[in-house]
Structure formats: C-alpha cells, structure tokens
Amino acid sequence: MTERLTAVADFAQQMMTGDRSGHGFDHIERVVNLTRQLLAENPVNGEIALTAAYLHDCFDDKLTDDPAARRAEVVNELMQVGYQPEEVDHILAIIDHMSFAANLEQHQKLSPEGQLVQDADRLDAIGAIGIARAFSYGAVHGYAMYDPKVQPRENLTKGNYRQPETTINHFYEKLFKLPDQMNTATARRIGNERKRYMQSFVTEFKREWEL
C-alpha cells in the first residue's frame, strides 16, 4: 500500500473499531479485499477505490449521531496525508452516492471506482456473513427477528427504509435484490451464489419457526 493509503487504513480502524451493528473494521477489511478482487478484473484508479472502501462507513448517518463532524474529520485526514482536493471530492462523491438508501428513489451515477466499491460493499451484505450482519444490525436497533403477520414492504423510500421492521423482511426488501443491482459481472456472479445461500437459510428459518 502507499503511505497515504496505510494512513487511511489506520484512521478507519480507529473510527470503526467497536461497532457492533455489522459495520465494524472487520466489515471494512472485507470490503477492501473485495474491492481488490474486483480491481483485478476491472482496472481503474485503485488508490481512489480502496480509499473510499476504507472510509465508506465513517460518517454514515445510521452509525453516528453527528455525521457532519465525522465527515469533517475524514476530509481533514485525507488532506493531512496528501490527497489533492479533486481526489477528496471524488472519494466523497463515491461515499455519498453508493448506499442502498441513496439509490432508493433515484439511481445515483457513480464513477468506475465507485461502482467497484459499491459492488464490494453490497457483496458483504449478502451470503453467510450478510446473514450474520443483518441479525447483528437488527439486534442493536431493536428489530424483531420475524413476524409472519408483517409483510415485506413493496415501495421503500429513503424516509421509511430505516423505520423498525423485522430482520427477515430485510432480506426481501433489500438483500435478495442486490445481485441484480451489481455493476460488474464478477460481483453479479458472486452475488447470485450468495443469494441462493440466503434463500435456503430463510426457507429453513421459516420452516423451523412454524414447527
């Protein structure tokens, strides 16, 4: 890694260690590693992509009470370790526009670098790890695991997306949809494999629930 990317990695670790909602530094490292895998088949500006991967959750409004202050910390860190203003703008644009919530009402255009980070982040939301993360997030935020009387919502908006629901409904409302929304062929292939695993899990979960 370059010196400035190493500094960004250390900064992200300080920011995200201690999270128990499925967005801790272990998640960050997996997204970085998945971004590296996608870069091997989709060569773009790797340093920009990996920087955004390290920082993508640092000022997420679902993870901090003061996203503006956290965003300012990120910008300050990037400038201090030598990123140019146009690079900072690029990295922030990726982070601002890559989330599922940001794309609910209008598709956000991402740079090639942003598309890889978005794919990597979405891949870590699905499969076996995705299942564990979904239940971790639900536990932290007080979601019921499942309620057969509560049906998945059809028309999500950014406003209602994070209103308390059930964790199982989250699979239908978001997770099962992600493979079709991937930007790269590699991510679609991996995503569909992970989706099948999740579908088997949800089927078995409901079967056991109804015994």
Q: What is the pLDDT of residue 108?
A: 95
Please report which helix (H) or strand (E) contains residue 28, including its range. helix 25-41
pLDDT at 19 over 80: yes
CA angle 69, 4, 182 (to 5 degrees): 75
pLDDT at 29 over 80: yes
Mean pLDDT, residues 66-81: 97
Each residue's pLDDT tens digit, 121-166: 999 999 999 999 999 999 999 999 999 999 999 888 877 887 878 9
Whole-model pTM: value is: 0.95
Nearest to 172 by CA among 151, 193, 192, 190: 151
- Tell how far CA 1 is from the center of its chain: 22
Higher pLDDT, 173 or 158: 173
Token pair, residue 57, equals 């959750």
Greatest Cα pair distance in the chain:
59
Distance CA(56)–CA(48), nearest Å, equals 12
